[in-house]
Every structure is written in C-alpha cells, then in structure tokens.
C-alpha cells in the first residue's frame, strides 16, 4: 500500500520531492515531521544524478522507504491503542 494516493504519478525528481514532503504531513508528531522534512531537504541538496535509469531506481527506492516508515508509524500507533 503506498503512503499516499498518487505515488504512481511520481515520475521526476521534483515530483518525488513534493510527494515525500506531503508524506511528512502524515506523521503523528511535529517533531517527526520536522526531522523527516529536514532529512529530505538535506538529501535533495546533495543530489546531482544525471542517469535516467539511476533516477528511476532512486524514485522507486524512496517510495518504498516512505511506505515502510509510514507503515511502521501506523502499526506502532495501532499497537498503542490496543494497550
């Protein structure tokens, strides 16, 4: 399950950047949101990849990582509610 609707529309690095920043809004605490927004911006400033195949690999991996993080947060919140 993708973290947000529209992940299949992410085709360019700019789309990925905007999508990941929108994913940060799904995180439960302002501290977590700020941490991941900062991390995304730091990685973005150092990115200078030109190979289209490598860019697509990075996009797919980033989407998978965002999905993993949001699933982890959702499952931990669900576990806390059950206790």
**Does residue 42 form part of some domain?**
yes
Residues 17-57: pLDDT tens digits? 999 999 999 999 999 999 999 999 998 876 788 899 999 99
**Alpha-carbon span 5 to 51, nearest angstrom:** 27
**Does residue 1 form part of some domain?**
no
**Alpha-carbon span 70 to 26, nearest angstrom:** 8
Q: How many CA atoms lie within 13 A of 76 on its CB side?
A: 8
**Does residue 4 form part of some domain?**
no
pTM above 0.85, yes or no: no
Q: How confident is the model at residue 61 (pLDDT cuts 50, 70, 90)?
A: very high
Range of the domain at 47: 9-82
**Alpha-carbon span 8 to 66, nearest angstrom:** 13
**Does residue 36 form part of some domain?**
yes
Report the range of poorest mean pLDDT among 19-28, 63-72, 73-82. Answer: 73-82
Residue in the block written with tokens 């940060």: 24
**Does residue 3 form part of some domain?**
no
**Alpha-carbon span 63 to 8, nearest angstrom:** 9
Mean residue pLDDT of the chain comes to 87
**Does residue 20 form part of some domain?**
yes
């Amino acid at each position: 399950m993708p973290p947000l609707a529209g992940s299949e529309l992410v085709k360019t690095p700019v789309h990925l950047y905007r999508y990941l920043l929108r994913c940060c809004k799904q995180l439960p605490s302002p501290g977590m949101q700020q941490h991941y927004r900062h991390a995304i911006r730091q990685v973005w400033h150092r990115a200078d990849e030109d190979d289209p195949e490598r860019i697509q690999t990075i996009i797919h991996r980033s989407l998978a990582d965002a999905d993993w993080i949001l699933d982890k947060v959702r499952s931990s919140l669900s576990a806390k509610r059950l206790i």
